[in-house]
Amino acid sequence: MTTAQQLSFDVQHSDAARTPAERERVLAAPGFGQTFTDHMISIDYTEGRGWHDARLMPYGPLTLDPATSVFHYAQELFEGLKAYRQAGGTIATFRPYANAARFNQSARRMAMPELPEDAFVESLELLVQTDRDWVPTTEGHSLYLRPFMIATQPALGVNYPSKTFKYMVIASPAAAYFSGGVKPVSVWLSQEYTRAAPGGTGFAKCGGNYAAAFVAQRQAVEQGCDQVVWLDAFEHRYVEEMGGMNLFFVFGDRLVTPDLTGTLLPGVTRDSILTMAADLGLTAEERKISTDEWREGCESGELTEVFACGTAAVITPVGSVKGAEGGWTVGDGTPGKLTLQLREELTGIQYGTRPDPHNWVHKIC
Ligand code: COI
């Protein structure tokens, strides 16, 4: 349960922080998730005591007993959000309370303790304030924040979940997630593997979902595609999501996205796009969409654009589709007009160059 427990952070600065020149070298070409800032957050949890030992500390390795529960049973979850350097130098993040709420939704499914939302947001603020020089100034770049929680009890029994946990936040300067930027990606429809079934962990942002996805993602690459698209567990017919990202289908001025039935991730970007669509006078529907409707829509010209969305990927066009029975192109294979318009609108809000009518931007420093 989330408690109103007040946490105060002990602050220990790194005496081995990278020099400005070393940092600039990293920021010149940050890639994605490859280099980490000088500090990290750690908060421990013990059943019966609650959250304790909240710390900002130098970034570095952890020492864990080989029997630690997370190594064996993957009791783990994470979040992903970004800090943006806005016009005028302000550093802001985007809807961090939405991530905090999803973190706790994942925690409930994974039999892990909830972290008070304010502590979640404060931990991000403290890390970003401390490592603010790591927030890139290059247009389109950002500081990717990765809060996560692991089960730390050294025990092999599976009769009861871990009684101790560690929450952490690490931060990594990031360029575009896909090296092509807004270049359309090609996708492989996975009919052999299933990501999630009703009652499972599909809606939770837990590491196990991603571990189980690698084999299908590898197959997608072997098929010459960039990304895997997951289909429903029963018929392998209805679209669920792309590897770690939600999908939207554009029929003229109508957006369609798979509905949240418990098997796909309730993306914060997905939710923001649904709200922005209404602002832009577009109709948005959350419903099932089959691969047949996808293919037929593209063949008839009724389905004009498809895009993926997520914190890391922002909004990325999907240009072509391949499955066991052949493939097809979406539109003319180039980024669609609405895809680019929504991307500009969203990044404009995030980088502070467009109005923020829903107060999504959360200023940090
Ligand atoms: C994100 O968009 O933050 C994600 O979690 C995707 C990630 C698995 C790279």
- State the closest ligand 1 atom to the C-alpha of 310, by its place in the atom list counted from 1: 2
Of all helices (H) and strands (E), which one includes residue 93? strand 91-94
Taking the C-alpha atoms of residue 283 and residue 276, their distance in angstroms, rounded to an integer, is 10
pLDDT, position 9: 97
Average pLDDT rounded to a whole number, residues 242-267 = 96
Of all helices (H) and strands (E), which one includes residue 316? strand 314-323
Q: Look at residues 132, 86, 142 and name the one whose alpha carbon lies nearest to residue 356.
A: 86
Query: What number does CATH give the domain 185-350?
Result: 3.20.10.10
pLDDT, position 4: 53
Convert the pLDDT of each residue in 326-341 to its tens digit: 999 999 999 999 999 9
The rounded Å distance from CA 244 to ligand 1 centre is 6
- State the closest ligand 1 atom to the C-alpha of 33, by its place in the atom list counted from 1: 9
User: Is pLDDT at 155 greater than 90 in this prediction?
Assistant: yes
* Ligand 1 pocket at CB < 6 A: 80, 244, 310-312
- State the closest ligand 1 atom to the C-alpha of 146, by its place in the atom list counted from 1: 3
Instruction: Please give the single-letter amino acid code of residue 126.
Output: L
Nearest CA to ligand 1 atom 5: 80
Q: Look at residues 103, 92, 120 and name the one whose alpha carbon lies nearest to residue 347.
A: 92
Taking the C-alpha atoms of residue 15 and residue 11, their distance in angstroms, rounded to an integer, is 13
pLDDT, position 5: 64
The rounded Å distance from CA 264 to ligand 1 centre is 13
The rounded Å distance from CA 145 to ligand 1 centre is 10
Convert the pLDDT of each residue in 64-78 to its tens digit: 999 999 999 999 999
- Which of 245, 273, 316, 346 to probe ligand 1 with, by most ligand atoms within 8 A of CB? 245
User: Is pLDDT at 12 greater than 90 in this prediction?
Assistant: yes
Nearest CA to ligand 1 atom 9: 312
**Domains of the chain, residue spans:** 10-174, 185-350
Q: Estimate to the nearest angstrom the gap between the alpha carbon of 79 and the chain centroid.
A: 6
The rounded radius of gyration (Å) of the Cα atoms in the chain is 21
- Which of 311, 315, 316 to probe ligand 1 with, by most ligand atoms within 8 A of CB? 311
**Reported confidence tier of residue 87, pLDDT bands at 50, 70, 90:** confident
pLDDT, position 52: 97
- State the closest ligand 1 atom to the C-alpha of 32, by its place in the atom list counted from 1: 9
The rounded Å distance from CA 243 to ligand 1 centre is 9
Question: How much of the chain exceeds pLDDT 90, in percent?
Answer: 93
pLDDT, position 176: 78
Alpha carbons within 13 angstroms on the beta-carbon side of residue 157 total 6
The rounded Å distance from CA 15 to ligand 1 centre is 31
Query: What number does CATH give the domain 10-174?
Result: 3.30.470.10
pLDDT, position 3: 47
Q: Estimate to the nearest angstrom the gap between the alpha carbon of 83 and the chain centroid.
A: 13
- State the closest ligand 1 atom to the C-alpha of 177, by its place in the atom list counted from 1: 9
Average pLDDT rounded to a whole number, residues 263-291 = 96
The rounded Å distance from CA 245 to ligand 1 centre is 7
